[in-house]
Amino acid sequence: MASRVIPVEAFDLVVFGGTGDLARRKILPALFKRYCAGQMPGPSRLIGAARSELTTEGYREVVRQALREFGNTDGGPALEGFLGQIDYVTIDARGGTGWQELSALLDINDHVRAFYFSVGPGLFKDLAERLQGHRMVDANSRIVVEKPFGRDLESAKALNRVLCGFFDEGQIYRIDHYLGKETVQNLMAVRFGNMLFEPLWNAQYIDHIQITVAETVGVGGRGAYYERAGAMRDMMQNHLMQLLCLIAMEPPAKFEPDAVRDEKLKVIRALDPVEPHHIVRGQYTQADGVQGFRDDVDNPRSKTESFIALRCHLSNWRWAGTPFYLRTGKRLKGRDSQITVVFKDAPHSIFGPDTGRHNNELTIQLQPNEGITLDVTIKEPGQGGMRLIDVPLDMSFAEALGPDADAPDAYERLIMDVIRGNQTLFMRDDEVEAAWAWTDPIIQGWEARGDVPKPYDAFTSGPDTAQQLMRRDGREWRGIDS
């Protein structure tokens, strides 16, 4: 069953920072795929904008290379048509260069206009001021911003004030690309489209929930940024928090932007403060030919964490008593992101004590292979009495939907949602602020205590203390697959 392509109106997408890493790695390949799927109709344009002095032809060459390097394609027969819809403007966010030219380019039609701020947040205000000053923003315009959205509550509020000073909240699309993943949306479909799970989706039946986002990569070329951010700000406050929201939220009345975001906000606001002994921070050390974190960030005394695990609780009727364990880190033994919902044991084993402990687990695998597995307990086949084993009921979407089930990647989906004006999968200002309001005291706590992250060998599961965080509760993390 091929995925259905919903037509979109012609649009203009201006990518500020069109020569940068994010544009080349994600935005350009995503747009090319949507072009090939017929979602960039004829008069639509992609306009790259950055300070580099490039001709339109020169920028098209940048695009061609980006597709080769990050889109894994030479573009094939579709490439020339795609490039033909691309323009470039040399522009300075902080100066006067290029703005008249961009305005003239946009003035020739009344398409939906999306302005992707693929630049550092320090330039948001400059871009917003100049877009307004040159009257490029109308009611049908949208802006897209990326993480990091602030580094604490105060800076996030300041950014929101800046953006909301120029645009309506309904025009601001704050991307968390985890929300664009197929399986993350399937999580909502599984929860709210089936009768099977929702009645059991609460503290009465669920022992605990664990969320892992593990990466094998180190901080790469982003050492300076990461040294200031750490895993808590870079991953936990946004990606893991969003996953937690979707797992824990009440059913919204409708699958509509504010209905969904209202429910997510309630989850964040229900989070209790986290006890210091429920937090484990780690820092990778050198191994297997890679250098350690402190060398990567060029600070021999760095106290920034490349790994964090914590246990948190939601104070509401549905979840009182069910712990949520979250962990994320770099240089771990596998690239493996998953959510596991661990159901409670059956209240009484009719098969006697020798059959061991068995419980159901629902695992939502986000990467590398998206899919959902439900572990159920069955009789081990064969002679020898009643022995029980757990086997997975594998709901691999690729298998269920056939070889043509070609799910768009997160950026493809999210960019098309921007064009259609659908904010369901984007974070609202109050959500972002609530997430920081929960995160700030955690960070302030370890800063005040002078905590130093625990070292862990690169390509392992993180510090031993993270295992103990679970073990002392009689639980285990699911393995990180390499």
**What residues are annotated to the active site?**
239
Q: 243 and 237 in contact (C-beta within 8 Å)?
A: no
Three-class secondary structure of residue 212 per DSSP: strand
Site membership for ligand NAP, residue 19 (CB under 6 A): yes
Site membership for ligand NAP, residue 91 (CB under 6 A): yes
The stretch near ligand NAP (CB under 6 A) out of 80-88, 90-98, 345-353, 366-374 is: 90-98
Q: How far is the CB of 90 from ligand NAP (least distance, A)?
A: 8
Q: Which structure tokens are listed for 83?
A: 């490039």
Residues 134, 113: Cα–Cα separation, whole Å? 14
Site membership for ligand NAP, residue 92 (CB under 6 A): yes
Quick one: 229 or 247, whose CB is closer to ligand NAP? 229
Site membership for ligand NAP, residue 101 (CB under 6 A): no
Residues 34-63 that bind ligand NAP (CB under 6 A): 50-52
Residue with tokens 């985890």: 178
Residues 191, 63: Cα–Cα separation, whole Å? 40
**CA nearest 98: which of 45, 46, 51, 61?**
51
Residues 361, 209: Cα–Cα separation, whole Å? 10
Residues 44, 13: Cα–Cα separation, whole Å? 8
Residues 28, 327: Cα–Cα separation, whole Å? 31
Q: How far is the CB of 64 from ligand NAP (least distance, A)?
A: 17
Strands (E), 201-259: 206-214
Site membership for ligand NAP, residue 159 (CB under 6 A): no
Q: How far is the CB of 382 from ligand NAP (least distance, A)?
A: 51
Q: How far is the CB of 204 from ligand NAP (least distance, A)?
A: 39
Count of residues binding ligand NAP (CB under 6 A)? 24
Q: How far is the CB of 140 from ligand NAP (least distance, A)?
A: 24
Residue with tokens 């579709």: 78
Site membership for ligand NAP, residue 235 (CB under 6 A): no
Site membership for ligand NAP, residue 119 (CB under 6 A): yes
**CA nearest 291: which of 157, 93, 458?**
458
The stretch near ligand NAP (CB under 6 A) out of 15-23, 161-169, 352-360, 386-394 is: 15-23
Site membership for ligand NAP, residue 390 (CB under 6 A): no
Q: 396 and 376 in contact (C-beta within 8 Å)?
A: no
Site membership for ligand NAP, residue 279 (CB under 6 A): no
Site membership for ligand NAP, residue 134 (CB under 6 A): no
Quick one: 21 or 345, whose CB is closer to ligand NAP? 21
Site membership for ligand NAP, residue 120 (CB under 6 A): yes
Quick one: 117 or 284, whose CB is closer to ligand NAP? 117
Angle at 302 between CA 298 and CA 305, to 5 degrees: 110
C-alpha 49 chain-centroid distance: 25
- In angstroms, how far is the first alpha carbon of the chain from the final one? 31
The DSSP bridge partners found for residue 109 are: none
| HSE-CB for 166 with a 13 A CA cutoff | 22
Site membership for ligand NAP, residue 215 (CB under 6 A): no
Q: Which of 146, 176, 336, 429 binds ligand NAP (CB under 6 A)?
A: 146
Site membership for ligand NAP, residue 22 (CB under 6 A): yes
Site membership for ligand NAP, residue 94 (CB under 6 A): yes
Binding site for ligand NAP (CB under 6 A): 16-23, 25, 50-52, 91-94, 118-121, 123, 146-148
